[in-house]
Amino acid sequence: MKLDWRYWSQRSCRYLPLVLTMAIIGLCNTGLLSTAHAQAPEADQLGSLVEAGEVGDESAASLLPAPSPQRSDYPTIGVSSRGIVWVVAQMHLFFGALVLAVPIFVLVIELIGFKTGDDRYDDMAHEFMKVSLTAYAITALFGGTLALSLFLLYPDLMTYLMRAFGSQVLVYAGLFFLESMLLYIYYYGWNALRYGNRKWIHLTLGLLLNVVGSTLLFVANSWTTFMMAPSGVDPATGAIIGNIWEVMKGPLWNPLNLHRFIANVAFGGAVVGAYAAFKFLSAKNLEEKAHYDWMGYSSNFISILAFLPLPFAGYWLMAEIYAYSQQMGILAMGGILAWLFVVQAVLICTILLAGNFYLWTGMARSEGSERYRWAIKYIATVLILGFLVWVTPHNVIYTASEMIRLGGGNHPVLGPLGIMPAKNIAVFLMLLCTFLSFQLYRRADKVITVSWQDWGNALMACIYIVAIANIIFAGIYYGYFTNTVYKVGSSVIQVMSTVVVIVSGVVIDTLMFKGAKNLHVSWGKVSDRSQYALFALPITFTWLMALMGYVRSSVRTHWHVYTVMQDNSPDNFIPTLQTVGNMVTLVTLLFLAFLLFIFWIANLSGTRQLPPLAAARSPAMAGSGT
Amino acid sequence: MTVLMKMLGFSVLLILAFAGVTYVLPQMEGAAPEEIEVDVGALTMETFVAMGERLYQGQGTCALCHNELGRAPDLLAFNVTSASLERLADPRYRGDASDVEAYLRESMLNPSQFVVAGFGTKGSNDTESPMPAIDKPPAQLSELEIDAIIAYLQDKDGNPVTVALPVEADDTQVDVEPAMPVAAQSPEAALAKYGCAACHSILDSVTTLGPNLNDIADRQEPHQIRNSIVNPGAVVDEDYFVVMPEFANMTIGELEMIVEFLAMQTGEQS
């Protein structure tokens, strides 16, 4: 029997991604496990084992209690240590989020391009990677600076963390090398591995890049969640008693992994969307405008699609925080940090308004959009009402005469809007509205031809009506007419109703779009204002990430590692909201400056100076982009 | 370049607008607890109860859950001593306490011994309390601090305090919110110590929550000022509620410093 090597090589290439992914996961696991501490005995046995000399010096070292540094033990360099670490860590997180997120959706876009044979997708994915690649070096620089800052300014904390995580940090470093190699091969090998079987190799590299990148993210997350909810330690002394796996898999690890993974995709999509907007506004001809308009649309699509499930992941994280420590949860949601959620409301509403505005203006690209334009004013009304409800605070500091006129501490009408049930109703209705805008946008350039389209539309409308009724009923009934305990339970109904709409909407639309007639879409014919909406997204996302990162970190209050290692540094207090606002503004401005630098660099790489002779002949063209 | 500048301008404006929101919200700072030495020998029952109240509101983090929002029984809304007696007689009670003081101590050290119906950990059928043991981190209260809270909980409803005052000869380290009885050395420090500026316009503070003190000398004589501090409810301006607390641990020296300082605050001067 003669083997058809071309057939077999083609088949093997298709399975290559799976095989290599399994291999790398296996390698990572082996690496992690091999660095694990020896299986620790039960905590209550440890003391007696040490006394009996059955635990060696090395194991005994792991029984050291958590350090308890006094204020004088913290090095001072004349500037707030927390301020330095705050800025550097946040910058590292911004860029880390970007470089880990972009390859995720780039791989999906590349696969779509490969399957459809449309080179535009491939080119767009490649251009997205260009932005990510420039950001990669900056990520590493901030990462290195962060590590040095921490070792310099918080030596006791780092000693303790090193003891807890041991050589896992070397696995992290190894993964970082692997990530770098894969990233460079993936980017620079793009055109060399563009078609046929070679494309499968390239796709495999992309998959591996994402597997390694996500593993890096999860490993780093374990450090963060260990500080919030330490596991594998003796609660009384902070001594490390678990192996590396027990230290890593704290109660908040997976919720944070999911939340950051989704948030990174939304953030990455928004940043490359800003790049597209920048290029669109700088474009000199319609062809360029059309390309970057389409690129901006795709980025916004990715960003908003990832953003929609984000509140559910956030809900899970917060629920786990409450389950781990009710005090910690209440401090975040009902204590001194609670006011920051008013700022969060402003930010998320800005994201939703900007995202919706972009979709509405973008609908103008297709003449088919006229069928749906009437709905925009209703969606906008719900969004604005939702925004107003969301930002209504529960308690306001009134003067005595105002309190007399109000007849109490809360406004009789607006007071009930200040509590969570009202805000939940607002949030979930806003999410539904955003999804509706998204659905209308997708339908704007299509004429559905399936025979059951009336039934399909009726079903979709019914799902919306039932979901809206559910959200409002659950919010009002459980929020205002039952015990507090049931208030949290009502959110589950609201979450599920929203998820059902999103999932069924995607499924029904996908089925209805089969065989649909596509109307002409005039890419590039979109207002400049829409591009500013596109630019508003990453700015707001950045502010939001910095703010919520601060809240997550601050719930530890005066603990480096919650309940086991106290923070006695001069900065161990929760600062005022103004200070937080200033710090978040500072890091966002810094990120913006670096971002514009990246856009400029990415643009510069496509610029070629003309030879002196040609430049002399055509002075107007000298220095122009190719 | 024009596009770059426009984008930059737009982004900076947006960023500053977000920062502006944080400026219009109430400004609070959450201080970490400070270790302050308490002279146990100098404690009176009054200052011990006051210390318990501060611990209840602050370091003990009791008020975080025990409030009107319904996460835990609102201990300030009912008579804790009477409720404790009822719970001791409840067939569901599993602890070892036989009196109110022991019950309150047990409920802080081992909260699951009796869980009030509806306040148990989800799925535990009210057999397990979500409350952490108060002598463990993060609250990490000492024996003396726990006693002070018990004294406060008994005293707040007018019941007799059964907790004995600590009698150790050595000074004891206590974690409390900064504000323990260390006498202020200046009128400004005394005003800051008792948080007067939170409700009154005085020194750098501008607020309308309480009467303006910058011109108090134009309206009141020193003895009236003194009377208003010692007994805030005695004379109340018709535009205001009596929300001012009584300062049980204010020293006479501090009181006189504040009175003397306020007696010089005239509208002309400010």
Contact B228, B211 (CB under 8 A): no
Contacts of A502 (CB under 8 A, 6+ apart): A308, A309, A435
| Closest C-alpha among B175, B134, B150 to residue A327 | B134
**Average pLDDT, stretch A273-301?**
91
Which one of A330, A344, A541, A572 would you mutate to disrupt binding with B, by most B Cβ within 10 Å of its Cβ? A330
Q: Helix (H, G, I), strand (E, B), or coil: what is residue B216?
A: helix
Nearest by CB to B241, which of A331, A403, A559? A403
Which one of B2, B18, B239 would you mutate to disrupt binding with A, by most A Cβ within 10 Å of its Cβ? B18
CA distance A360 to chain B (A): 21
Give one word for B215, left, alpha or beta, with left for phi > 0 and alpha for psi -120 to 50.
alpha
Kindly tell me if the per-residue pLDDT of A36 is higher than 50: no
Q: Helix (H, G, I), strand (E, B), or coil: what is residue B213?
A: coil
Tell me whether residues A346 and B137 touch, CB distance under 8 A. Answer: no
- CA terminus-to-terminus distance, chain A: 54
Tell me whether residues A343 and B208 touch, CB distance under 8 A. Answer: no
B27: amino acid identity, one letter = Q
Q: What is the pLDDT of residues B237-255, one digit of tens each?
A: 666 665 676 676 677 778 8
Domain boundaries, chain B: 34-176, 187-262
Tell me whether residues B18 and A535 touch, CB distance under 8 A. Answer: no
Beta bridge partners of B166: none
Higher per-residue pLDDT: A18 or A443: A443
CA distance A309 to A288: 33
Lowest-confidence segment of A46-55, B89-98, B157-166 by average pLDDT: A46-55
Nearest by CB to A557, which of B20, B32, B240? B32
Q: What is the count of residue pairs from A and B with beta carbons less than 8 Å apart?
A: 140
pLDDT of residue B193: 77
Higher per-residue pLDDT: A623 or A312: A312
Domain boundaries, chain A: 84-336+588-610, 367-520
pLDDT of residue B239: 66
pLDDT of residue B71: 77
pLDDT of residue A594: 93
Q: What is the pLDDT of residues B162-204, one digit of tens each?
A: 998 887 654 555 555 544 446 677 888 888 777 787 778 888 7
Categorize the per-residue pLDDT at A45 as very low, low, confident or very high, splitting at 50, 70 and 90: very low
**Average pLDDT, stretch B8-36?**
86
Q: Taking CA atoms, what residue in A is nearest to B121?
A: A323
Beta bridge partners of A366: A521
**Average pLDDT, stretch A440-445?**
91
- Partners of A535 on chain B (C-beta within 8 Å) are 7, 10-11
Nearest by CB to B138, which of A350, A562, A581? A562
A87, A93, A94, A95 alpha-carbon torsion, rounded to 10°? 110
Q: Does domain B34-176 have CATH number 1.10.3720.10?
A: no
pLDDT of residue B236: 67
Categorize the per-residue pLDDT at A410 as very low, low, confident or very high, splitting at 50, 70 and 90: low
CA distance A318 to chain B (A): 16
Contact A537, A306 (CB under 8 A): no
B144, B148, B154, B157 alpha-carbon torsion, rounded to 10°? 180
pLDDT of residue A483: 65
pLDDT of residue A42: 42
Three-state SS annotation for A277-300: HHHHHHCCCHHHHHHHHHHHHHHH
Give the rounded percent of residues in chain A with a pLDDT score beyond 70. 84
Helix axes A196-228, A253-282, angle to 10 degrees: 130
- Partners of B130 on chain A (C-beta within 8 Å) are 326
pLDDT of residue A411: 67
CA distance A119 to chain B (A): 29
pLDDT of residue B195: 77
Tell me whether residues B30 and A401 touch, CB distance under 8 A. Answer: no
Three-state SS annotation for A468-532: HHHHHHHHHHHHHCCCHHHHHHHHHHHHHHHHHHHHHHHHHHHHHCCCCEECCECCCCCCHHHHH
Tell me whether residues A580 and B22 touch, CB distance under 8 A. Answer: yes
CA distance B14 to chain A (A): 8
CA distance A80 to chain B (A): 16
Q: What is the pLDDT of residues A331-361, one digit of tens each?
A: 887 677 888 888 998 999 999 999 999 999 9
Q: Helix (H, G, I), strand (E, B), or coil: what is residue A454?
A: helix
CA distance A526 to B200: 56
Fold adopted by B187-262? Cytochrome Bc1 Complex; Chain D, domain 2 (1.10.760)
Three-state SS annotation for A185-249: HHHHCCCCCCCHHHHHHHHHHHHHHHHHHHHHHHHHHHHHHHHHCCCCECCCCCCECCCHHHHHC
Tell me whether residues B14 and A536 touch, CB distance under 8 A. Answer: yes
Q: What is the pLDDT of residues B132-160, one digit of tens each?
A: 889 888 888 888 899 999 999 999 999 99
Contact A447, A519 (CB under 8 A): yes
Q: Helix (H, G, I), strand (E, B), or coil: what is residue A433?
A: helix
CA distance A124 to A294: 9
> What is the DSSP-derived secondary structure letter of residue B153?
H
Q: Taking CA atoms, what residue in B is nearest to A282?
A: B3
Alpha-carbon distances, residue A374 vs A62, A377, B205, B224 (angstroms): 67, 7, 52, 68
Helix axes A577-604, A528-554, angle to 10 degrees: 130
Q: For residue A345, count CB atoms less than 10 angstroms from its CB and return exposed for 0-12, middle for 13-18, buried for 19 or more.
A: buried
